[in-house]
Amino acid sequence: DIQMTQSPSSVSASVGDRVTIACRASQGISNWLAWFQQKPGKAPKLLIYAASSLHSGVPSRFSGSGSGADFTLTISSLQPEDFATYYCQQANSFPITFGQGTRLEIK
């Protein structure tokens, strides 16, 4: 199974800050990676697919980069509604696996 490791596990930031979350796969997955945002009590929402493509309706302050085994999600200027937990997911092979999540908290 491909293991996905996110860092950091949690981060505190302020509105307007730039935040970067990293995700590392235990083996190369080309660009078969997605990022999700989840708020408490809600289902996850797709933000980024194919490592760097923005899902429909997602604000342009979200961006993704990387290929192979190392990926990043960047939020260019944090908004109040961005405080949530973020997950990466490898879409390269079965079983599909997720990172453990990164909790983005208000400083």
Partner 1 sequence: EVQLVESGGGLVQPGGSLRLSCAASGFIFSDHHIDWVRQAPGKGLEWVGRIRNTANSHTTDYAASVKGRFTISRDDSKNSMYLQMNSLKTEDTAVYYCAKVDTYGNWFDFWGQGTLVTVSS
Residues that bind partner 1 (CB under 8 A): 32, 34, 36, 38, 42-46, 49-50, 55, 87, 89, 91-92, 94-101
Residues sharing a CB contact under 8 Å with residue 26, sequence separation 6 or more, in sequence order = 2, 3, 4, 5, 69
Nearer to partner 1, 24 or 55 (CB): 55
Query: Looking at beta carbons only, is 77 or 100 nearer to partner 1?
Result: 100
Shortest Å, Cβ 15 to partner 1: 26
**Amino acid letter at 89?**
Q
Listed residue (1, 50, 63, 61) closest to 26, CA to CA: 1
